[in-house]
Structure 1
Amino acid sequence: MQAPTRTARTAGVLFLLTFVSAITGAALYAPLLTDPDYIIGPGADTRILLGAVCELVLIITNIGTAVVLFPVLRHHSETAAVGYFAARIVECTFIAVGILSILAVVTLRQTAGPDAAEYLPVARALVAVHGWTFLLGPGFVVGIGNGLLLAFLMYRSHLVPRPMALLGLIGGPLMSMSGVAVLFGAYGQSSIPSALATLPEIIWEASLGIYLTVVGFRRPRDAETTGTGAQESRAPRS
């Protein structure tokens, strides 16, 4: 079965939008996440709210990738396809909780008034909640969903070059294991070991988005000519 080109291109664009919205949202959040005394300072509330909008876009595009790809992927392994869809939902749930924690800090800054200093422990706790949601969602669940499950489906289906999918099969579990290491304090979430562990997954997702947008899904004869479709080439032709 040849997957529609439109589906591939739509999924590719959605993957690229997840990168843009995630990076932009993190950059916009920076004043709040890096300033432990944010609620008693001048604030940058408009910037933070724009960051929340970016993360809402991230949720939409994350779920969009699963919705668009599911009809195609289910033909190759319905169990893995459902697992990928579920992983996207869980990831987005963590992201939504993180958004709420950030918006709560903004509300504290705007309403606390002269007693704002008394709420500093609450604000810092809410920022910590955001940090944990980032670790457990984009830092752990993504390795299972976008990494292991999606790469397995792409590897099995030949819809993208197998070496590309293999990068996801390696990078996904590595990213999830790194998340567990951070959870137990082996190293920091923004440390060099963490960055190195997540790099293969980032390359896999970026290359997938670019490939689907520019090339689309591979056709069966493409797999045959590269030697990965030997089984298809041996099949009787009508």
Structure 2
Amino acid sequence: MSTNQAARITGVLFILAAVSSIVGLLLYGPILNGDDYLKQGSEHGNQIVLGAVMELILVVSAVGTATTMFPLLRKYNETIALWHVCFRFLEAVVITIGIVGVLSLLTLGREFAAGGALDAASYRAAGTLMHGVHDWTFLLGPNFMLGINTMMYSYVFYRSRLLPRFIPILGMTGAALVFVAAMLEMFGVFPQVSAWGAILSLPVFANEMTLAVWLLARGFDKSALASLSLSKRKSEALAG
């Protein structure tokens, strides 16, 4: 794959990840919101499944960005490139666990509706547990792990000058803020879905969209790529 192809694919995947994550969360509405979520979830089963499909697209997109950026990141620092791939895969795994939790909640809702709401307390106890699985994976994946991943690739882009420096600066700022947001949410300072959570997450979203548009329109800086390739060859020659 050429560098230009990798840049375009990475840009498309970032946009796809952002759109699918937002659409998926909106489609999950009936089963995640309100007191009557078991009944509402069963009545909107296809919508919930479609939301899960959107999140699976998010998972594929996240893994895709890691693999398309790896050859470029490793030219600057192979260790950071490997860390980025591993943590991005871990983010994808955590999100997948959340998807399983939501689909399990849908199954529970269908059983609840079919049983005529008998033993409602037990169903709601199980539903609360599955809600917790989704909430914690939503916090650890798209917030905690995302902050680590974004910091890694933004740092490499900043040092290597593969992109204009305002983009990785925005990326590192957004990564730090979304990581802080995740920590504050973990300790209950404010809830996951809140004004503060949205404010602290906005810069990392702006970074991903800015990065995606730049990669689609301009790609990576050719002189920086040439410099990285030359440095890589010199390092390999010295190592050999």
TM-score between the two structures when normalised by the length of structure 2: 0.87
Distance, in Å, in 2 between the alignment partners of 1:124 and 1:222 is 50
- Contact 2:161 2:224 (C-alpha < 8 Å) held by counterparts: no
Alignment of 1:63-102 (within 5 A): 63-102=63-102
Distance, in Å, in 2 between the alignment partners of 1:100 and 1:159 is 38
Distance, in Å, in 2 between the alignment partners of 1:193 and 1:8 is 33
> Unpaired runs of 5+ in structure 2?
232-240
Match of 2:30 in 1: 31
> Unpaired runs of 5+ in structure 1?
225-231, 233-238
- Contact 2:162 2:224 (C-alpha < 8 Å) held by counterparts: no
Secondary structure of the 2:35 match is coil
Alignment of 1:72-221 (within 5 A): 72-112=72-112, 113-114=115-116, 115=118, 117=120, 118-146=122-150, 148-220=151-223
Verify: 1:9 aligned to 2:8, yes or no: yes
Seq. identity, %: 36
Match of 2:237 in 1: none
- Contact 2:147 2:178 (C-alpha < 8 Å) held by counterparts: yes
Q: 1:216 to 1:31 in 2, by over 3 A?
A: same
Match of 2:58 in 1: 58
- Contact 1:158 1:223 (C-alpha < 8 Å) held by counterparts: no
- Contact 1:109 1:116 (C-alpha < 8 Å) held by counterparts: no
Distance, in Å, in 1 between the alignment partners of 2:226 and 2:164 is 8
- Contact 1:7 1:68 (C-alpha < 8 Å) held by counterparts: yes
Distance, in Å, in 2 between the alignment partners of 1:183 and 1:108 is 27
Identify which range, 37-46 or 4-13, moves more after superposition: 37-46
- Contact 1:33 1:127 (C-alpha < 8 Å) held by counterparts: yes
Q: 1:12 to 1:119 in 2, by over 3 A?
A: same
* Count of residues paired in the alignment: 222
CA deviations 1:31-51 (Å, max 9, x no partner) are 111023222346211000000
**One-letter code aligned to 2:89:** I
- Contact 1:40 1:116 (C-alpha < 8 Å) held by counterparts: no
Secondary structure of the 2:28 match is helix
TM-score between the two structures when normalised by the length of structure 1: 0.88
Distance, in Å, in 1 between the alignment partners of 2:61 and 2:95 is 12
**One-letter code aligned to 1:202:** F
- Contact 2:98 2:137 (C-alpha < 8 Å) held by counterparts: yes
- Contact 1:99 1:130 (C-alpha < 8 Å) held by counterparts: yes
Match of 2:47 in 1: 47
Match of 1:20 in 2: 19
Identify which range, 80-89 or 106-115, moves more after superposition: 106-115
